[in-house]
Amino acid sequence: MVESGLSWVQRAADAAIEHATRRGDGRTIVCASGVSPSGPIHLGNLREVMTAHFVAEEIRSRGRDAVHLHSWDDYDRFRKVPAGLDESLAEYVGRPLAAVPDPDGVHDSYASRFIAEFSASLDRLGVRMREVRQSEQYPAGVYNAAIRQAMDRRGDVFDILASFQTEGRHDQPVEQRRAAYYPFKPYCQVCGKDFTTVTGYAGTVVEYRCRFGHTGSMSLADGERISGKLVWKVDWPMRWVHEGVDFESAGEDHHAPSSSVASGTVLIREIYGGTVPHSFPYSFVGLAGGSSKMSGSAGGAAIPATALDVLEPAIVRWLYVRRLPSQSFTIDLSPRAVQRLYDEWDQFGERAAVGESGVDAHLHEVCVRTSAGEIEHARLPVSFRLLSSAADLTQANTDQIERLVRLHLDKPDAAPGHDALLADLEPRLTCAINYATKLLTPQERTTVRTEFNQDAWNDLDEQTRAGVHLLDQHLADDWTLDGLTTLVYGVPKQLRGLPLDTPPTPELKKAQRSFFAALYRLLCSRDTGPRLPTLLLSIGQQRVHTLLGGAPTTG
């Protein structure tokens, strides 16, 4: 991730600034992104947006004027009904996404529904963009002049695109296809769908016919409202020039040798007289347990709000900035993976704080702060394992969670008051509660017993029973998280006549795991659970004594 002491964000900003300098018109540096709201906008799409956001923020941090320009491609056609949505939407296939109704009737369109959902998450992630909706731009005639350029040179456009196509894929001869080719696709002015064929173009007027028997025409003159758009591979380079884009990344499929970036590089130069912006491919983001490539038109894709339920916004930013864009990665929201991710984030913060690496310090700053202000992250980063276990064990009772946190702190008396302490734990506290109440299955939730488990006790051997008694007798010696940690790990050592500072060996670890399983069975009738010191603190001394000390003193 590191080259010449710079992060990938800093290097991309360098390239965007260089592109703007070559352009030489003194305009604001433009970093672009775009998403088609064809369904739930997932964590894979988020990489498109976050990449442009990070680069624009880096340019601003250097005192340069930069904008993150985001296109909502809601004038794209509605291709199919995503899994999980009402099949009655199939009647709108072929219409612009912005002309499909919201299935729930809340928003003004299908597109607006998913834009609103995604935008709410972007707001929490600190992403501020200048947003453009193509469903407003195209019909208003904003691009009419650029559309005419492509239409006037439709033969050249065809030749450029054909040069990137694989031979032998078409039934018709190339001359016949070239004669019939137009880079503009009308939406029928009667049925509103794009099942249309352009039949002629003269002056500024496009004529077309529709699969359903309709015919029509429209003028591409300046200021005229239209119904239709350029085909994708022409639309993209046209907007690069229209918007003055200096940087825009794209998925690795768009960067394939014969795909849209390659053809766009030629089209922007030959048709529009522009220069292709700096770009690089980003790899796809997968979801653990699902497809390695998430598709917005597929059901079950994880949206950013799902991750933000259990991850601090700063951590979600970290997921996207810590790897090179060319590296694919998987987001795992399983319980153990979430806990491990918090451990890694806290360790990363500690490294950044002591300045072990200039890149670490830079990337941590990117995660927790933008030019618009701070990103949500816990000011008091108490272990997420502690918070999530406490939320599980207390049924999300914040008063009890606060008590456990105070027991955990080195100087509990110096901690802020009740409300201030809870505020300092946010948003990690809410994430921990969501983890316990939404992410854990009923089978994974912890239920503490109310009475001594005689059956579990009967199954224990004499040495384990002796260890339970020893633990119970010394609970009050140091009723803190550190003290109980030393105790639960130390009892198996004492049973073997070993000093407490004995380093772990494979044999000792096995004995400790066996002892822990016995304690879990006595406390919550299962073989595993939250970390034992946290579990003991949450239960309280008296109740622990009841569940462990209720054992008979002899076998």
Q: Does the residue 379 lie in any domain?
A: no
* Residue 294, pLDDT score: 43
What pLDDT, in 10s, does the model give residues 13-35? 999 999 999 888 788 999 999 99
Q: Are residues 288 and 355 in the same domain?
A: yes
Residue 550 burial (C-beta neighbours within 10 Å; 0-12, 13-18, 19+): middle
Q: Which residues pair with 32 in a beta bridge?
A: 69
* pLDDT value at 301 more than 70: no
Would you state the pLDDT for residue 443? 85
Tell me the pLDDT band of 172, cut-offs 50, 70 and 90: confident
378 located within any domain: no
- Among the candidates 203, 226, 249, a domain finishes at 226
Kindly tell me the sign of the dihedral angle through the C-alpha atoms of 446, 452, 458, 464.
Answer: positive
222 and 238, same domain (yes or no): no
Q: What are 321-377's pLDDT values in tens digits?
A: 999 999 999 999 999 999 999 999 999 999 888 875 688 899 999 999 999 999 999
Q: What is the mean pLDDT of residues 430-438?
A: 95
Q: What percent of the chain has pLDDT over 70?
A: 94
Given this model, what pLDDT does residue 69 score?
98
487 pLDDT exceeds 90?
A: yes
User: Does the pLDDT at position 291 exceed 70?
Assistant: no
Residues 115, 145, single domain; the answer is no
Residues 115 and 252 in one domain: yes
| Structural domain of 202 | 140-149+165-226
Question: What pLDDT is attached to residue 93?
Answer: 97
Sequential DSSP letters for 56-76: HHHHHHTT--EEEEEEE-TTS
Q: What is the mean pLDDT of residues 221-242?
A: 97
Q: Are residues 120 and 5 in the same domain?
A: yes
**155: in domain:** no
Predicted confidence at residue 2, as pLDDT, reads 41
The predicted pLDDT at position 179 comes to: 96
Task: State residue 504's pLDDT score.
Answer: 87
Give the pLDDT confidence of 378-416 residue by residue, as tens digits. Answer: 999 899 999 999 999 888 999 989 988 888 886 566 667
Residue-wise DSSP of 245-270: -SB--EETTTTSTTSHHHHHHHHHHH
Whether residue 353 is found in the same domain as residue 389: no
| HEC assignment per residue over 460-495 | CCHHHHHHHHHHHHCHHHCCCHHHHHHHHHHHHHHH
Secondary structure of residue 229 in the 3-state scheme = strand
Cα Rg of the chain (Å, integer): 30
Per-residue confidence band for 146, with pLDDT thresholds at 50, 70 and 90 = very high
pLDDT at 356 (0 to 100): 59
CATH number at residue 317: 3.40.50.620
Helices 541-549, 462-473: axis angle to 10 degrees equals: 160
Same domain for 273 and 359: yes
Residue 148 CB neighbour total at 10 angstroms:
18
Query: How far is CA 311 from each of CA 21, 296, 343, 359, rounded to the nearest angstrom?
Result: 39, 22, 12, 23
Claim to verify: residue 79 and residue 144 sit in the same structural domain: no
pLDDT at residue number 404: 86
Give yes or no for a cis peptide into 103 (omega within 30° of 0): no
The 3-class SS string of 77-89 reads: ECCCCCCCCCHHH
Q: What is the pLDDT of residue 290?
A: 42
* 165-168 contact pairs (CB < 8 A, 24+): 165/258, 166/258
**Does residue 176 lie in a domain region?**
yes
Please tell me the predicted confidence (pLDDT) of residue 117: 96
**Sign of the dihedral through C-alpha 53, 58, 61, 63:** negative
Q: Answer yes or no: do 480 and 530 share one domain.
A: yes
* Residues contacting 380, CB < 8 A, separation 6+: 421, 424, 425
Query: Helix or strand or coil: residue 354?
Result: helix
Give the β-pairing of 329-331 and 285-287.
parallel
Q: Are residues 212 and 252 in the same domain?
A: no
Same domain, 30 and 89: yes
Q: What is the mean pLDDT of residues 312-328?
A: 96
How many domains is the chain partitioned into structurally? 4
Tell me the per-residue pLDDT of 90-122, one tens digit each, with 9 for 90 and over: 999 999 999 999 999 999 999 999 999 999 999
**Which of 332, 363, 394 is the last residue in one of the domains?**
363
Question: Based on the domain organization, do 485 and 514 belong to the same domain?
Answer: yes
C-beta separation of 315 from 43 below 8 A: no
Which residues, at least 6 apart from 399, have a Cβ–Cβ distance to it below 8 Å? 418
